[in-house]
Amino acid sequence: QQLLEALQAREDVASVQTVSPGQGMAEFRDHSGFGDSLELLGENPLPWVFMVSPATGVLSADAAGVQARVDALTRWLQEQPMVASAQYDLKWLQRLGRLLELGRAIVWVLALLFGVAVIVVVANTIRLDVAARAEEIEILALVGASNSFIRQPFLYSGFWYGLLGGLLALALMQACLLYLGGPLGRLLDTYGQGLHLQGLTATQAAVLAGAAAWLGLLGALASVQRYLKLLSVGGSLGRR
């Protein structure tokens, strides 16, 4: 009981599952096929077994970081006088670390593709908007409007397009988490791991929305600036 309480108090431990000697013997009898032979044993030789699941924070590092943290937890267990031996599934841990690295790489690739998509979509949208208002822009230029004045409404539009795109991405991400969370949680439970998908924090969501708005602004600036150069009428659009 003392060891169980010590494990549950550690921040790097998510859960502890106990297997009593009686439960261990029953499982061994059911799966080994030596049920009759076990009756010859005078007493149950099996010890108590604690199955420790590391916390999500332990498993959120890269492969080397995951193994280092689990090694530290294992050493702590081995130092406890009530523990005869402590071991973990190294192969499964290595596979988990590689999967985490692959997941991070996929996230970065998707983020890059999302950023490029925002710039391209917003730039094309603003380009069409500028083309539709070409006569209005020419009139503004003829009456002395500066390039910055002409650019301003299009930059606002690009900002809002990007922000709305970021919010839509957050909504889709949350929907995917809700859809995949249950099946993935049940899959991980079969491996004895209490891992679950987690959404972005409020700060991370704000950063994503802000980055999308900034990319939209950048796409709008690139599009309208290019169009202003092409649309220059007798140098009247040359003022900044």
**How is the chain split into domains, by residue range?**
2-88, 100-230
Closest Cα partner for 121 from 83, 158, 170? 158
pLDDT tens-place values along the chain, 240 residues long = 677 788 777 777 777 777 887 787 777 777 666 656 666 666 777 778 887 777 766 655 555 666 777 778 888 888 888 888 777 766 666 676 677 677 778 878 887 888 888 888 888 888 888 888 888 887 887 787 787 888 888 899 999 998 998 888 888 888 887 887 777 666 666 555 555 566 677 888 888 889 889 988 988 888 888 877 776 644 544 444
Q: Which fold has domain 2-88?
A: Alpha-Beta Plaits (3.30.70)
Straight-line distance from the first to the last Cα atom of the chain, in angstroms, rounded to the nearest whole number: 76
Q: How many CA atoms lie within 13 A of 217 on its CB side?
A: 10
Q: Which residues pair with 19 in a beta bridge?
A: 49
